[in-house]
Structure 1
Amino acid sequence: MSGDEALRRWTSFAVHDESSAARWLREQRHGGEQGRRCGFAVEEADPSRAGGPPVGHAVLKEVVAGGPSAEVGYWPVARARGRGVAPRTLRALSDRAVATFARDGLTRLLLRRQAADTASCRVAEKSRHDLAAVLPAKPPACP
């Protein structure tokens, strides 16, 4: 991930060595233990490519019992881009979230993306996530 320019540019985490990767994994696990997030490794759908390292990450976060909304997020690794991995991942995560939490009051999924990240905007459109609003930047975490 450290050599992936797109991930460095468009995501808020910094993984550049084993230590920072371990820290990121601990943060994911901690968020899951607290019930703030459900993270998933994305694996190859093509059986001829299966068994290798994950091709991305998907997350459902800010799920609150009885709350009307939650946030979804994703990122594909470089070798998975352009093959439809991200839209399929986002659709699957969104469908699963609605099926699981709608009876508890979930009516809306939020997907925050950078307006200048055209690839991510295309993924959102392909995944039925319509643009609802443009939020102001919140530096330094978000450009």
Structure 2
Amino acid sequence: MSAVVHDRAGAARWVRDQRHGWEAGHRFAFAVSEVQAHATEGELVGHAVLKNVTPGASSAEVGHWTAAHARGRGVAPRALRALTDWAFTTFADGGLTRLELLHQADNTASCRVAQKCGYELSALRPAAPPAFPLEGHLHARARDL
């Protein structure tokens, strides 16, 4: 469901896809915004998502991105921590005990964010083109019991 958006129509499709994920109960996407002092609305600075949620399954996947203008300000770790807490709280009764985060091995910023948020490197994933053209890192975090 990940897509590059190039125009208004693409953005509308992307938003519809996110809404459909909520309605279907398997993908929960959040816009990450920052509100400046005296502002009436927030500026979009990122996105965080819980995906592959299956009733009764013990694991799901998280993902995130940060807008270029907001990088280096702690946006991604704050969003990932909030998402992690929400996911483990919201789906605890459904058996969710593990969250996984996958990123390209050469994405050192994502690696640092994962580690800051308690997601330990648990495996290397080989490239699997075309969807995953480069080797990946799989990080995982278990729910505190």
TM bin (shorter chain): 0.7 to 0.9
1:50 Cα deviation after fit: 6.6
Distance 2:5 2:129 in 1: 19
- Classify the secondary structure of the residue corresponding to 1:40: strand
Q: What is the percent sequence identity of the aligned residues? A: 60
What whole-Å deviation, never above 9, does each CA across 1:46-80 have from its counterpart, x for those lacking one? 54667233111111111112210011111111111
Q: 1:124 aligns with which of 107, 111, 114?
A: 114
Alignment-derived partner of residue 139 in structure 1? 129
Please point out which of 11, 26, 31 is paired with 1:21: 11
**TM-score normalized by the length of structure 2:** 0.83
Runs of 4+ in structure 1 deviating by more than 6 angstroms, as ranges, are: none
Q: In 1, Cα distance between the equivalents of 2:38 and 2:111?
A: 29
So what's the TM-score if we normalise by structure 1?
Answer: 0.84
Higher normalized strand content (fraction of residues) = 2
What is the distance in 2 between the residues matched to 1:50 and 1:134? 44
1:99 maps to which residue? 89
In the TM superposition, 1:1-143 aligns within 5 A as 12-44=2-34, 47=37, 51-143=41-133
How far apart, CA to CA, are the structure 2 residues paired with 1:128 and 1:53?
27
- Structure 1 stretches lacking a partner, 5+ long: 1-11
Alpha-carbon distance in 1 for matches of 2:105, 2:95? 29
Structure with the largest fraction of helix:
1
| Aligned residue pairs, count | 132
Are the structure 2 counterparts of residues 47 and 62 from structure 1 closer, same or farther at C-alpha, using a change threshold of 3 Å? farther
- Contact 1:43–1:50 at 8 Å: present in 2 too? no
RMSD, matched Cα: 1.6
Query: Which stretch of the first structure deviates more once superposed, 92-101 or 25-34?
Result: 25-34
Tell me, which stretches of 5 or more residues in structure 2 are unaligned?
A: 134-145
Q: How far is 1:41 from its partner?
A: 0.7
